[in-house]
Amino acid sequence: MAEPLLATRRGDSSSAGHDADPAKTVVTTPGEPITTTASFMRGHGTFVEDETVVSAVAGVVERINKLITVKALKARYSGEIGDVVVGRITEVAQKRWKVDVNSRQDAVLMLSAINLPGGIQRRKSESDELRMRTFFTEGDLVVAEIQSHYSDGAIALHTRSLKYGKLRNGTLVKIPPALVQRSRSHFHALPCGVDVILGVNGYIWVSKHVDMETIEANPEEIYSSKNDRISPDERQMIARVANCIVALTRHFVHIHETSILYAYEASLQHPIKDLVTSDISSDIALEVRDKLQV
Amino acid sequence: MELLSPEGLRIDGRRANELRRITCKPSVLKNADGSAYFEQGNTKVLAAVYGPRQPQLKSQTAHDRAVIRVEFNVAPFSSSERKKRSRFEKYGNLRILEIATSIKQTFEPVIISTVYPRSEIAIYLHLLQDDGGNIQTCINAATLALIDAGIAMTDYVCACSAGYIDETPVLDLNHIEESSYETPDLTMAVMPRSEKILLLQMESRLQIGRLEDTLALAKAGCGQIHELMDKAVRDNTLDLVHKYTN
């Protein structure tokens, strides 16, 4: 079996994995043979037929040691343990909530994987089970961490930290998950007085700033569904940051703290509602890109 | 009406073994996970794929694989003939349901559904303009949309029709040729790499001796369509790679 696709990559092992240079990337389409199984293992996005590793999706070939994967560029979010995700409760079930996290199936948040109001540590009783809707109900937005995977690929979440829990005072922006990269922190307090939570699943929460002390002072309030009073100025700040993220997404700029900050600075000369128009959003994206390259 | 002139030209000026002009573009819709627009001559189809996602109906879940759902929709403005709307139409036109089912069955062996347990892959097909060869255009559009959505498949699915006018096998029939009473025609969908047939549909009478010619011609047409689709997918993927990495 000929190995035309990997021949170009054999020599330089440094280019394996994340490849920033588009000239070196190998693109495959479904049904395209990649290599023989004699020397390689099949990973995601591939299958084996007649001892040949064949691509199952259109995407970029990535090689990590002997493992070959093909990464589709627009595929849905697939969770990894430790990811911070933002999701919406879709269903309240027996001792668990179902959460939409933009994945292949709804994630599961167990009653035993949440903190009780007031931070009391105890086993969850039957009365807690009856009160589940007072913690999270259908339509609520939550930020959580991926705890583990079930055998069928479903995701288990937990919110056992004051960082995680119910979201309020803000707005949700949905973007392609490929534009959010895993980093040390996904919680950012921007200097303009807006908090941003970058969910790895492509859901981004932009909200009014709340400092940790206020949360710790009122632990009963973590399950409150009532918004605080938001002044028109704060409201506009939130809208501006949200529109900046939308503008960057349109032009495939990766979303992280720095890119949002640069976009915010660039946006100040325009009215908020114009940020999502095609010419202004491309101006902003260009400016951000220039600054990021410096 | 003369469908094939003495010079060997068809009613729209094509030769017997020529395809209609094909234009296709993946990633045309923003909200769908994958989408494609496919034009084959004057037949135009828009396809959208959602999924793999949480099934909308709990009863429609399989614990070990993804469930495929196909919805086929004919735009009321798609053809110039005014069709009489029956009062049962709200229950779904049977002909349309049949097409949707055959498309679903075409894709079931190709999509590697076992890697997406307990989820659903929904394919929505919208026929915008009808000039014959609806099923083949829908299948081709759905293939592009599925690839665009990043759904694992063992191969492309390419579909094409072929028929017989007088003594000549003809490729890719248009509406006039298709609806002519004495023209037999068949639709075929193949996996181009292994040349396995996924769908073979014929609703007219064809002399058995002519079947082999017609099948060979349809298969050749599928091969041509595969090349065009592969180019569109490759261009689109490269374009996305450039956008994401710069």
ipTM, 2 dp: 0.88
pLDDT of A116: 86
Q: How many CA atoms lie within 13 A of B182 on its CB side?
A: 8
Beta-carbon separation of B233 and A29 below 8 A: yes
Task: Compute the average pLDDT of residues A47-67.
Answer: 93
pTM of the model: 0.90
Check if the beta carbon of residue B136 is closer than 8 Å to that of residue B182: no
**Domains defined along chain A, listed by start:** 4-72 (2.40.50.100)
Check if the beta carbon of residue A5 is closer than 8 Å to that of residue A40: no
Task: Compute the average pLDDT of residues B160-189.
Answer: 91
Task: Enumerate residues 210 to 229 of chain A having a beta carbon within 8 A of any beta carbon in chain B.
Answer: none
Helical (H) or strand (E) element with A195:
strand A194-198
pLDDT of B95: 85
Looking at per-residue pLDDT, the higher value among A210 and A173 belongs to A173
pLDDT of A269: 94
Q: At what angle do helices A257-267 and A278-293 cross, to 10 degrees?
A: 130
Does A282 contact chain B (CB < 8 Å)?
no
Least Cα distance to A292 among A260, A250, A249 occurs for A260
C-alpha–C-alpha distance, residues A211 and A290, integer Å: 32
Give me B134's structure tokens: 């609806």
Nearest CA in chain B to A25: B241
The residue extents of the domains of chain B are 22-245
Q: Is the pLDDT of residue B187 over 60?
A: yes
Mean pLDDT (chain A) is 88
pLDDT of B88: 55
Does A57 contact chain B (CB < 8 Å)?
yes
User: Three-state DSSP class for B62?
Assistant: strand
Considering only CB atoms, which chain A residues are within 8 Å of B112?
47, 56
Considering only CB atoms, which chain B residues are within 8 Å of A30?
147, 152-156
Check if the beta carbon of residue A70 is closer than 8 Å to that of residue A84: no
Least Cα distance to A87 among A143, A125, A158 occurs for A143
Beta-carbon separation of B238 and A45 below 8 A: no
Task: Compute the average pLDDT of residues B77-106.
Answer: 78
Beta-carbon separation of B244 and A20 below 8 A: no
Residues in Cβ contact with A41 at an 8 Å cutoff, skipping those fewer than 6 apart: A66, A67, A68
Q: Which of A29, A48, A278, A286 to mutate to test the interface with B (most CBs of B within 10 A)?
A: A29
pLDDT of A222: 83
Mean pLDDT (chain B) is 92
Beta-carbon separation of B240 and A72 below 8 A: no
pLDDT of A108: 96
Nearest CA in chain A to B32: A74
Looking at per-residue pLDDT, the higher value among A10 and B56 belongs to B56
- How far is A164 from chain B, CA to nearest CA, in Å? 24
Report the CATH architecture of B22-245: 2-Layer Sandwich (3.30)
Beta-carbon separation of B234 and A106 below 8 A: no
pLDDT over 70 percentage in chain A: 92
C-alpha–C-alpha distance, residues A223 and B56, integer Å: 28
Least Cα distance to A214 among A205, A224, A206 occurs for A224
pLDDT of A8: 39
